[in-house]
Structure 1
Amino acid sequence: MLRWIIFVVIYFVLGIYTLQALRTLTRYPWVYYFFMLMSLLVLGNFIYQFTMGETPGRVLSVSKSYAFGLLLAMLAFKSITIIFLFSEDIFRFLAGGYQKLFGETKEFSLPERRRFLSAIAMGIAALPFSALLYGMIKGKYNFKVLKYELEFDDLPDSFNGYRITQISDVHSGSFDNREKIEYAINLINEQKSDILLFTGDMVNNKAEEMYPWKDLFSTLEAKDGKYSVLGNHDYGDYVDWETAEAKSKNLKDLKELQREMGFDLLLNESRYLQKGSDKIALIGVENWGRGGFKKAGDLKKAVADINKGDFKILMSHDPSHWEDEVLKDDYHYHLTLSGHTHGMQFGIEIPGWVKWSPVKWRYKYWAGVYEELGQMINVNRGFGYLGYPGRVGIWPEITVITLKKRTLV
């Protein structure tokens, strides 16, 4: 309860500052009243959804996500405004103090706010506010196909030109537009890759979230099959289950659901992909994440049936597994495919120029292709979204990787 009180107080303090900027810019009372009404509605909806809504507790529903997204947009607007106004207040206070000490009247008074500074503050604050709203309306379904050609010295000849489509982090419990998801499924199939690999987080929390989308994802096609692994959200660890049996059943249902959709779910297992006399090993581990994330992945168990010298593709949901365990392993994993980070669903990317997101402070390998010790990883930015119901700058991704045999010059 105390946390809610502190949060509400901070929210209103931010609102008072923003209201001052509005009063400096315009004399129309309806503008102030509209801002106050919107501010109260956003706060009230957020409190309702997270205390008395249809899904109380930690489970994120679509309505909760939108309540959070709108609050985030409003807080971004207010926070940037207050940076400018608070800086101005420091100047005003110093100017008032100088007037009292050295001025003719010897009275302490604050100079009026400068209109142009309030205009600058509101204009800059409108940028993230608009971007966050755009991310909720359009950005979350702004699917991008990212294509890479990766070269390897020891790729078996028959696999030269082999195409892999990777998707990750579906988070089906967040979807709210069937037409857009159908478009994305068609986009995946249009790539006509040899194999489709899904690297975890099919749902937010419960298997039932995938039921409305089962028919669509069942239409995904790849001539050499569809393979998947589990992500941290697939285990149902973020739900307050009534019984351990209910949680166990949920995981069992999700595993069965993936198989019904045509995915070969790899649970610390491996498969060989064969073309003529050549083969490559496909390995899938359960989730292994640094920190408090589940560490069910068992790399040694997963490679028990393959040879050390095989060309290997590893599916592992969390890129911290690659950094902490895979790179140090005795086996050489030519290519690892991960997801998990979502690129934080927010950042700036201009191909060839800029790639930045706050998530880089948490994950060294957070989006795209990296190479270390002669081994590569692709971190997919994610198909869906979680928490904030949108994407800004870091768009939903469908990865197409073409394996190439490096030619000696």
Structure 2
Amino acid sequence: MNRVAVTGTGIVSAIGADVAAFTAALRAGRTGIVATPDGLGAPVTDWSFPEAVAGAPAPLRRRAQRSAGRSPRPVRVAVAAAVQAWTAARLTDSPIPGDRVGVVVAGHNLTARYVHDLRPGWEENPAYLPARFALHALDTDHVGTLSEVFDATGEGCTVGGASASGNVGVVHATRLVASGTVDCCLLVGALCELTPLHRRAFAVLGALAEPTSDPGRACRPFDRDRSGFVPGEAAAALVLESTASATRRGVPHRAVVAGHALALDGDRSAAPNLDGEVRVIRAALAAAGLAPTDVDYVNAHATASRRGDEVEAAALVAALGAGVDRAFVNSTKALTGHCLGAAGVVEAVATVAQLCGGFVHPTPNLDDPVEPRLRFVGPVARPADLRYALSNGFGFGGINSAVVLARTPDEG
């Protein structure tokens, strides 16, 4: 099996529209959560697709504008994040044959808002329906557009696992590269725009954070006063490549995917399962050949849900054992909001930034931790010499995931 490296990252989020801005926001502990017309959210605002791709090499910029310029907003945001990752991986300067490049898009129900917003016009006048609606209304529009922009003709698909979708994408893309099916895989966690119907459904379920006059204090992962998650918007991208391919191209490895695991609870509900979470964390560490005491950092799933955070904290205590007081723990969702299907890829980008940057970002609003035995990062960033990081993702329907990322020697 091939060793799999991260050779490029990209992101468009509420706290930064590129990796440099995103990393600076992580260091500063700056939240993107604000009051929105729908309630609370962390939206991508003041963003322009032409400006986002303007700095790309001319041939790539032209393909992006031609293929995605008139696409729905989530597709445009996905392409912009992917252009960043592709460029960072130097794939324009040192290309890989298209049939050796795969595309995986993490997330599902990606076009729900697009369909919702078109319906009133269609009901008034059916002729209003856009000619490409049948394509844009499918999640696979992301895959087709990305493959066209990057001339990728290897294997491609969408993968979904509710809030674990991003990690499911990391696992699937890693398997494609590790098996030799492709030399590199472009993985994109796609931006999800919730409809009012979905927002209401989450509220009825008791999953959404309660309204507050101070939006910046609304998302409280691992705090005893947490009340639920705040929806966030983001698209994030990774180029996952075999280390042999990256070495041939002379491209440094930012990190490697050292291990991963997926497991089901055998339960269709939204309830988290302690045994399932412990099992998947242990399996990911075993796949990486690590002991619990080797883990330096945990990017927790931690949505600020009442039950979910409590169960994850207990799972970390059980799975890390003697290492529970040495691994830093934080939650990127406190800054970005919960980016749903994209969350795992957003958090992979955040994890790589911290591994390579030698820091751990703060978790704001963590005043009274649910589990004092965990080494939570406080209100400010801290310097940290990180080698191995664990990133968790848990989804409705009993979908558990964990990914282990490792800093590579050429990153210090």
TM-score by length of 2: 0.28
Q: Which has the higher contact order (CA 8 A, sep 6+)?
A: 2
**Higher Cα Rg, which structure:** 1
TM-score by length of 1: 0.29
